[in-house]
Structure 1
Amino acid sequence: MTSEQVPVAATRKGAYWQTACTLAVLLAAVWLAHRHWPVLETGALRLAAADQGWLLTGATAACGTWLCAALALQGAVVRRLPPGRLVAAQFAASAANHLLPAGLGAGAVNLRFLMRRGLPAGRAATAVGVKATAGGMARGALIAVLAAACPGILRVPHDGGGWAVAGVAAVGVCVLLAGRLWPRGRRILAGVTADIRAVHARPRRAAALWGGSVAFAALHACVLIAVTRAVALPLPPARVALLYLAASSAAALLPTPGGLGSLDAVLVLALAAAGAPAAAAASAVLGYRLLTVWLPLLPGLLVLGVLVRREAL
């Protein structure tokens, strides 16, 4: 084989691989839609008589979550990322997140996207971890604020605080031991710390990271609030937001793709326990899922396939 034939063969092999990935994500979308078709059909029928203005408001908030996710990822890295492809990658990541459990889909897409932008694997993984950590902390801060504004909604066991402190302390001890006893662990920890400091040394990056993380969680809550208004669910918006943030945090502990099933059940129970009629609570959760999962799923997977074919992922 000549030197000119080698690049041609490599190009063909890459094209075959990209085509296979595109077909795989399309087949996955069809399979998911077929498997959950009763959910889609029931939700559409229940929401047909809902207030269309509120549903449009919820759809707008859902679109804003992708912009906030892109803003948070840009804040997690020092290097400037192309805005258009960054938003497209977050749209694709939101769809991939419903194919793999515990946020692995979105993490894999973001990791690949950053590596394609020239970041080493270690720094790309650190950025994805920083973004995820900021998102969790932002969600916790919103829960704390809303819990103070809506006392009596969330009930923590008497010994829950002690267990939480013990867990945080155990994680901290493990990190310190790994850093001191394992030389490679010290180097990795030093690199991660340096990357975090570099990001927070730039006020714009820090503001993008934390502002995008807070806005991402808040807009998801706004989607559910808008749907509850559309189906005339009799709960105050602040209470709905608090219940959503608490339920989604609890459902994140269960390794289901995109929280499908786990979040739905927990959220319906939470809304019903807060005083909403069971049928209205179920309809609100179905509407939230339609706006955040089912309607954007196929377009998101198509964008994922396009990004793979164009070697952006």
Structure 2
Amino acid sequence: MTAGRRLSGGVRGGRVSWHAGISLLVLVCAGILARRHWPVIEEGVGRLAVADRGWLLVATAATIATWACSALAQQGAVTRPLPAGRLVAVQFAASAANHVLPAGLGAGAVNLRFLTRCGLPVTRSATALAVKACAGTAVRGCLIGGLALACPGALRLPQVPATARTATVWAVAAVVAAVAAALLAGPLRRALRCVLLDVRAVHEVPARAAALWGGSLAFAALHAAVVIAVTQAIDLPLPPARVALAYLAASSAAVLLPTPGGLGSLDAALALALTLAGAPAGAAASTVLGYRLLTVWLPLLPGLVALGLLIRRRVL
């Protein structure tokens, strides 16, 4: 038993160290890029300082609403009712924890603890988180597909050499093959079966299914609305649909780099996506800064305080 605990602790420690190393590397690269393009960032800060306050208030309201939508989606992922007020507070705290630990580990740990505190078994709580994540991924894919059809030519990729494209295709194929092989393995196959059983149980209750999919859709749409509102505040001449598509594509790509809250990876991807969509570099930097200010830096300290209070009151 002791050896098993040591092995488990070593595996978890190895994973955390691996994530921390990748996160540190991405942050260092982001810092180097920021130093090289500091005039653009300075111009972006200047644009944001004189932005329209009304649109910034709209962006703030959309940010606050994302926590309620996340709570709605989490409620939809389980069949038993959860305390609504505490659930929203937990999502607020989880968003802060997510910006401290890499690859969504913070939010996942907070929600897992809350669900187990509500009486769900650990396995059932973990599958509830997986159901919510799968619904969010599916919704983002549908939104990207719909917006790409509505805005043909908006997703323009930067020119890369043919050898790089070939290497990328082979790398993606290798990842898909590795994922497929992992899913066919015994433990993961059983875990996938549990997730599918939970998905079926949730969809047998129409109200829960509506909460799951409606909350997931609203969560993604509201984050896109925050970016749109910031672009309107700085008078960025881009159609809202293109801005939403740029954000959804960038945030989906940033998931591949496990940094805390997408810090660095999402910033670079969103700035690149907005620039490719036709935004000037300074305006793209202003949009990224405004989005990060509203969704990360302003709520971070209150979120961590809320996390501490929830732990103190044994909600977590």
TM-score in terms of structure 2 length: 0.79
Q: Deviations over 1:256-303 (max 9, x none)?
A: 100111111111122122221111110111001111111111111111
> 1:106–1:67: structure 2 CA closer, same or farther, 3 Å change rule?
same
Q: CA deviation at 1:254?
A: 0.5
- Which is greater in Rg? 1
Alignment of 1:128-167 (within 5 A): 128-155=129-156
* Amino acid across the alignment from 1:120: P
> 1:171–1:69: structure 2 CA closer, same or farther, 3 Å change rule?
same
One of 240, 245, 249 as aligned partner of 2:248:
245
Q: Deviations over 1:124-158 (max 9, x none)?
A: 00001111111111111100000000011225799
Contact 1:130–1:196 (Cα < 8 Å) also in 2: yes
Contact 2:74–2:212 (Cα < 8 Å) also in 1: yes
1:114 is matched with which residue?
Answer: 115
* Amino acid across the alignment from 2:198: D
One of 206, 220, 225 as aligned partner of 2:223:
220
Q: Deviations over 1:177-219 (max 9, x none)?
A: 32xxx4x666544433322211111011111111111110110
Query: Relative to structure 2, which stretch is displaced further, 82-91 or 267-276?
Result: 267-276
Q: Deviations over 1:7-44 (max 9, x none)?
A: xxxxxxxxxxxxxxxxxxxxxxxxxxxxx9x9999976
Query: Relative to structure 2, which stretch is displaced further, 41-50 or 221-230?
Result: 41-50
> 1:41–1:98: structure 2 CA closer, same or farther, 3 Å change rule?
farther
Stretches of structure 1 that go unaligned for 5 or more consecutive residues are 1-35
* Amino acid across the alignment from 2:202: V
> 1:111–1:232: structure 2 CA closer, same or farther, 3 Å change rule?
same
1:196 is matched with which residue?
Answer: 199
Distance in 2 (alpha carbons) for counterparts of 1:248 and 1:192? 24
Stretches of structure 2 that go unaligned for 5 or more consecutive residues are 1-30
Q: Deviations over 1:71-112 (max 9, x none)?
A: 000000011000000000000011101001111111111100
> 1:164–1:155: structure 2 CA closer, same or farther, 3 Å change rule?
farther
2:126 is matched with which residue?
Answer: 125
2:75 is matched with which residue?
Answer: 74
> 1:44–1:301: structure 2 CA closer, same or farther, 3 Å change rule?
farther
> 1:268–1:186: structure 2 CA closer, same or farther, 3 Å change rule?
closer
Distance in 2 (alpha carbons) for counterparts of 1:167 and 1:142? 24
Contact 1:43–1:290 (Cα < 8 Å) also in 2: no
Query: Relative to structure 2, which stretch is displaced further, 285-294 or 156-165?
Result: 156-165
Q: Does residue 313 of structure 2 align to residue 299 of structure 1?
A: no
Distance in 2 (alpha carbons) for counterparts of 1:299 and 1:93? 11
Distance in 1 (alpha carbons) for counterparts of 2:147 and 2:176? 23
Distance in 2 (alpha carbons) for counterparts of 1:255 and 1:201? 34
Count of matched residue positions in the alignment of Structure 1 and Structure 2:
272
2:314 is matched with which residue?
Answer: 311
Contact 2:130–2:195 (Cα < 8 Å) also in 1: no
Contact 2:45–2:286 (Cα < 8 Å) also in 1: no
1:7 is matched with which residue?
Answer: none
2:276 is matched with which residue?
Answer: 273
One of 290, 294, 302 as aligned partner of 2:293:
290
Contact 1:95–1:300 (Cα < 8 Å) also in 2: yes
Query: Relative to structure 2, which stretch is displaced further, 40-49 or 112-121?
Result: 40-49
> 1:172–1:279: structure 2 CA closer, same or farther, 3 Å change rule?
same
Distance in 1 (alpha carbons) for counterparts of 2:285 and 2:156? 23
Query: Relative to structure 2, which stretch is displaced further, 188-197 or 288-297?
Result: 188-197
CA RMSD, Structure 1 to Structure 2 (Å): 2.8
TM-score in terms of structure 1 length: 0.79
